[in-house]
Structure 1
Amino acid sequence: MWLIQKGEAGGHPVFLRLLVPNLLFLLLPLLVGWVIYHQTLIEMEKEVTTANFNMLQQNREILDRRLQELSSIAMQLTEDTRIMQFQRITDPYQGANVNRVLETRKSLYHYGLANNFIFKYFILFKNSNLVFTEDSTYSYPEFYRNFRYEGWEEDAFRNELVSVYRHKKILPAQEVIVNDQPYTLLTYLRSLGMPGYPQGAIGITVDNRELQKLLRGLDLSGGGWACIVDEEGKVVSTASSSDTPAWLDPALLKGEKGSIERTIDGKSMLVTYSKSPTNDWTYLVAQPVRVVLQKVLYIKKITFSLAFLFLALGLLYAYLIAYRNSRPLKGILDTLRERAGAADPAGRDAYRFIRDHVTRLLENNSDLEERIAREAPFLQAASFERLLRGDYSSPTDTPVLLRHAGIEAEGRWFRAAVLQLQGFEGSLSREMLVDLDGKRVLVKDVLTREQVQPLLAHDMAEDQIALLFAYPSRPDNDWERVRLRLERAAAEIQTELHIQVRFAVGPLQEELVNISRSYEEARNTLEYMRWRGLDGVMAYDQIPGENRSYYYPSDLEVRLSHLAKAGEQEAVETLLNELYNVNFKEKQLSILMLRLLVNEMWGTLVKLLPQVGMDETYVLDTVKPFADDMKSYEGLERSLSSLAGVYRDICICVNEHKKSQNIGLLESIMALLQDSYSDSDLCLDSVAGRLDISKGYLSQFFKEQTGVNFSDYLEDLRMNRAKELLETSGLPVYEIALKVGYGSSNTFCRAFKRLNGVSATAYREGGAENES
C-alpha cells in the first residue's frame, strides 16, 4: 500500500521525499511541548510561591502595624493619670470618686470609630472590680454578663486578667458573647501596675473577620486554607474554603520562610509560610497542588493532544500527497500553464512554479480588496440612504448618528440635488453597467475640480447620483451660485466625457432631518425634466404650478404614524403644520389635488387607530360632516383641522395609557423600598432585577417621577428610620445600622455624620435638637 507505481510523479522516492520531512517536522511539536511543560511547571511553582510570599509578607506587615497600633493605644491608656488613680481605689462610688469615674469615662476615646480594626476595649481594676469601656462603666460581674468569653468561668477569666503581670499578651480568636450577640474576637492584654504587682488589665478586642479578610486575599480554592499561628503553636486565626481545614504541624516549618509539599488528609498540598520577626507568629497558606498547577496540566493536555492529532493527520496527509501526487499536481500545472501562458516546468521546479503564481494571485486579490474597501463605504451609504428616505426623526440625534457612521454633517441649512447621466434609459447590459460605474467615478472627479463641493455624493441608481449641500446659515442668492457651478460642471462633463447630464435641485430645508423633503422635490423635478426632455440645471421652484403634485411622501406618512403611536403630540403637530404650509400655501395646488391629499391623510388615520386601541368608526363619524364640504379651500382646511384634532386625541390616549402605567410602576418601587430598606443588598441593580426593568430606565424614571435620585431617596429613608430608633430605643448603634440596611456600623456612622452633621451617639444624647 505504501508503494506507488512508477511513472506517477517519480514513484516511491517522491512519496519518501514528502513523508520523511513531514514526519520529522510533526515530531518537533512533541519535543517542544515536553520542554514547555517542564519549564512551565517550574515557573508556575515559582510564580505561585512568590505570589504567596508577597501576599503573606503584605498581610504580616499590615497585621504587625495594626498590633503596634494596639500596643500604642494600650501604652497611652496605662500612662493616663486619670486611669492610674483608680489602681489603688477599692470603692470607686464613694465621695469624690464618683465624679472621677464620670470624668474618666467621658475622657475615654472611642478608638473603634477611627480604627475599624478595633472592636471594643475594656479596663479592669483589680482592687475595685471597676470596668471601663469606651461607652459605659460596669462592675466586673455586670461587665462579664455583657462581655462573656466562651469556655471561661467568671472568676477564672478575672484571675487570667489580673493574677499575672503581662507586658503584652494576645489571646487567640475565640467566641465572645457581646450583648447576647456572638462574635469571634482576638484579645490584646496589657497589665496595669508594676511587674510582680498587677493592679488590673487593659483588654483590646479585634474582630476575627478583619484578620480573615487579609487571609482570604489568598487563593484558597479547591480545599485550600490559611492560618496564623502564635509563638506557642496556638492558632490565632484561620480562613478556609472548606468547613474543616486540615492543619500542618508547625514543627515542620524551618527557617523564617519557605515552601514545602506535604500530603495532608490524603491531599497533596503546597504549603507556603513566613514568620514575623516582631512577635514570632507564623503566617502560612496551603493550596492543593492540582489547583496550583491546573494551568500547567491544562497546557500539557492541550499541547500533547494537539501534537498527537497533528502527527496523525500529518501522516495521513503525507501519505495521500505521495500516493495521489501525479493527478492533482499535473492538474494544477496544466491550469497555470493554460491561464498564465508559461512553459511546462519539469521535476522539482514545479513547486516553485506553483508558489510564484499563487503568490501573484494573493497579491492581486489583496489589491482588489483594498480598491473595494476604498470605493465601497457601505456604512456611510446606508446611513445616507436612510437620511434621504426620512428614517431619522430627531433633529438633535440625526447629526450624532451620522457622525457615528463617519459622516460629518455640520450646518443649519441643507439642500439636496440629483444628477442624472443621460443616454442610459431602458434595459442595461453588463457592459453598460461596468461603463456606468467608471463614468460615475469620473463625474465625481469633475464635480470636485469645478468646486461644486457637496457635503456628500452618493450613487442612488446606475445613472443617478444624489448630492447633499450644507450651509452654516441661510444663504443669500444661493441658487444663483449653485446654478452657475452646476452649469459649468455639466459643460465640463459633456466636453470631457461626452455625456449629457441633468441637475435637479430641491429647495433649502432647515435642519438635516428635513432633507428628505428636499430630496423628494429634487426627484420630482428630475421626473419633470425627463418628461419634458430638458437638459442642464433646474430647481423645483421653476416647475410650473399646474404640474405639481401634492407633498405627502410615504416616509413622512410612516414618521407621522410612529410619532402618534409614541404620543409625541408636539412633533405630530409640527409635521401636520409642515404638510399644510407646503401643500396649501407654497404649492398653490388645485382643489382636486388637495382633496386627494386630505383623503389619503384620513386613510392613514383609519389604518392607525386599531394600532393604538381605538375604533376606526371614530374617524368615519368625524369625517362625515366634511364629506360634502370638500369642494372649497375653506372646507378642505376645516377637514384638515378636524384631522389634526383626531391626531391630538390619539396622542392624549397614548399618553394617558403611559401615565397609568407609570403610576403603577412608581407605587411598586415605593412599596418595595418601604418593605426592603433594611436589606443591606438593596440597591438600584437589585430593585431593577426584581421589577424586571433595566437599571438605566429605573434611575431615569425614578428621578423624573420623584425629583430625587434613587440612591439619595433610599439613603434618606434609612436615615429617617435610624433617627427614630436613636430617639425611641436603647439599641446599640451597630444594631441600628444593621436594622436600617447598613452592612457595618462604621459605614453607618460615616453616613450619619455626613448627612446630619453630628455623630449617631451625639444625636442620641442631644435628641432632635441636634437636627435643628
Structure 2
Amino acid sequence: MNRHSRIFRSFLTSYIVILIIPSIAGYMSYRTSIAVTQSVSIENSVTQLQNSKQILERRMAEVEGFTRQLALNQDLYVLMNQKKDIDDGNVYGIWKLMKEVMVFSQTNDFLKNYYIYLRNENVVLTPGSAYFRPEHYYEYGHYDDMDQAQWQQQVLDRTHSREILPMKPFTMNGTQTSVISYMQSLPLDSFGSKAPATVVVLIDQKTVASLLSGVKDRYGGGWTYVSNAEGDPISMAGIGEDEIKAINADGAFDKAKQSQFYRDDLVITIRSAATGWVYRAGIPRKALMENANTIKYITWSVTGAALLIGLAVGWMLSHRNSAPINRLLGVVREQFGKDEPIGRNAYDFLQGNIATIITSNRTLEQELTRQQPLIRDAFLKRLLAGEFQTREEIEAAAAQADTGLALGRGSVGILHIHGYAGLDSVDILNELSAARLLLKQSLRDIDGRILMTDLGSDRVVAIFPAEGGDADAEAFRTAVQALLDPFAAYLFSEYKITVTGSFGELFDSGMEVSRSYEQAKETMGYADYTQRKGMLWYADIRQESSTYYYPLDMELRLISTIRAGDEEEAKRIVQSVMQQNTEDRELSPEMANQLIGELKGTLLKLLDQKAFAESDRFEDAKDRILAVQLAGSIEAIRGELNGIIETLCGMITSKKNDLHIRTVEQIKQFVAEQYSDAELTLYRIAEQAERPEKYISQLFKEVTGTNLSDHLEKVRMDRAGELLRGKALTVDEIASQVGYNSSHSFRRAFKRVMGVAPSAYRQSFD
C-alpha cells in the first residue's frame, strides 16, 4: 500500500503542476492572442486584397486577350482594309463579324458592353447591333462629361495601345452608371493619328467593385478603392471620392505603408507591378478586433473551468494511472524472476528490464534493415520471372520487401550501359559496378517510385509506374521519353556513360509484369541485332504474324490464377492474350483456330484437376469449353471464355468455402476438447489445424464473425456456469478446471462475459 501511495502521489503532484501552468500562462496567452490575432487579421486582409488584385488583373488580361483575338479575326481584317465606295458598304461582312464576336459578351461579364469602330465603313458594332453612324451610337451610350465631338476626337480618331480610361460617368440606353474603358486600336501595330479600327470595352464600375468585395465583406463593413498610377479612380465601394482625396491629402497618412491604422480604420495599400494601379481597403478596427475579444472571454472561461475540473480529474487519473504501473511491476517480476523493487527503485526496475527488451528488438530491426535490400532485390527478380501465382501473393511479398509498390499500370524497361562488351577484368567489373550505381542513383533522384534491379554486369531492369494522365500507352511513352532523354544526356555529360533502353508494353497489374519484362528483353535483343541506339519500345519492332502469341508463362499464370479463384485477374490475362493476337498481329484463320484450341486445352487441363472434377458443375463446364468455336466475333469468343472463367472460379470459391467451414468446425471441436488446458494458445490451435496463426485467426473471424479468443473464452465461461450451478466446487477449483491459472483473472473474465461475478451468479440459483 505504501508503494501504491508513493506512485499515486507522484502522479497527483504532476497533475497539480500541470494545472498551475495554465493559470500562470492564462494572462500571457490573452495578451499574446490579441497581438497575434491582430497580426493574422492584417495578414489575411492583405492576402485577400492581393487575391482580389490578382483576379482583377486576370480579368483585365482577358479583356486584352479579347482585343488580340479580334486583331486575328480574318473577317475584321477584310472590313478594315477593303476599299469602300461612298454609297457601298459590306453589309454581309458586318453582319458576319457581329455574329462571330457576339459570343464573347455572352460568356464574360467584363465583355458585356463593348463596341468596334470601323473607320472605312464609319460604323460602330456592338454585341447586338450595328450603328452605321457614330452619332447614332452616341445617342444610345455616351460619357456624361464628353460631347459627341470630344468623344469622336479622343476615342475614335486617336490611336490607342492598351489604354485604360479611368472611371467616368456613363449613360447607356437611358441608364446612368460609371465605367472604365479599355481602348485598343487595330491592327495592334497601328501608328499615326487614325487607325483602321478601334475596340472599346466598357467595364461597369460595379463589376470591378464586386471583385474587391471580399475584403469589405469579410468583416461586415469597410471600403475599397482602386486608382491608376496617376491617381485617377478606377473603382470605389463604401467610400466617396472626396473622402479618398482627404485621406491622400492628410500628412498623417503614409502612402508607402502596406498596412496602418488611420483614425478608426485599418487601411491596407498594395501596388500592382504590372499596371501601376493602387489598391486600398479600409477595415473598421472594431470588426478587426472581434476575434481577439472572443479569445479573451474563452481564455478566462476555459482557464477557470480547467482549474475546477482538472483537480477532480487529476485525482481520478492518479488512481487510474498508478494501477497499471503496479500491475506491470508484477508482470516484469514474474517474467524475469526478480524481486520486487523497493522504495523509489520501481521506475529504475522497469527501465532496466524494458531497456533490455528494446535493445534486443533494435538489434533484430538492424539485422532486418541490413537484409532489406537483398529481400527487395529477390522480390523484384521473382516478380520479373513471373513466379507469383496470385495478386495477394505479390502484395504480401511487396509489403515484406518494403518496396512501397502499388502495382497498377506501368512498364518494364532494360537500361544497357554501352562500351564494355567483351571486357572481363577486375578493373572493368569494378567500373561497371560504379556505373550501375550512378545510373540507379540518378534515376532514383528523378523519380523515387521507380524500382530497379541488376541484370548482368552492364544492364539494369527498371519498373516505371504509370498514373493519372499517363493511363494510355502513347501518353505513358511520351512521359517516359521526356524523363529518360535528359537523363541519358546527363549521364553522358557528367560521367561519360552511354545508356540505351528497351521497354515492354504497359502492364495492367502485377501479374503481367513478367510479360512486359519478356517483351523488353525481346526488344533489347532486337536493338542489339540492329545496332539501334536510344530508347526503343516493343511496339516499334517488327511483329511476326505467322504464328499466334500464347507463351507458356502466360498459360501457367492463367492456370494458377483460376486455381486461386481470382476471376478478375484471369479475365485480364485472357483480354491480354486476345489483344496481343488481334491488335498487334494479323493471324490467319488457321492460326486463330489453333489459338482458340490452345485456350480450350488450358481450360480442359484445369478441369481435369481434382478441385474441379468433384464439382457438380463439372459436366456443364466441360461442355461449354468444348463448344467454344471460332464462329463468331472475337468479342463473342472472349465473352464465352469469361463466362467459363466465372464458372471455374465459382467452383473454386465454393470448394474453398466448404473447406473453410470444415476447418472452423475442426477448430471448434479441438477447443471444446482442450478448453481446460491453461496452456491452450493460438499457437497450439494453429499447430493442430496445420495452418499459420494469422490464417486461422482471420479465417475463424471471417466464417463465424467472432474472434477465436472470444470463442475460447465463451466456451470456458459456459462450462464455468454449469459448474457454478452444480455447487460442488469452489470458485478457485472451477477457475482451474476451465483453464485459468489465476482465480482473479477468471473472476474478471466471468464478469465481463456473463455480466455478474461468479459468486453472484451462483447465488442466483439458490
Bucket of the pairwise TM-score, normalised by the shorter protein: 0.3 to 0.5
Q: TM-score, normalised by structure 2?
A: 0.42
Q: TM-score, normalised by structure 1?
A: 0.41
**Larger Rg over CA atoms:** 1
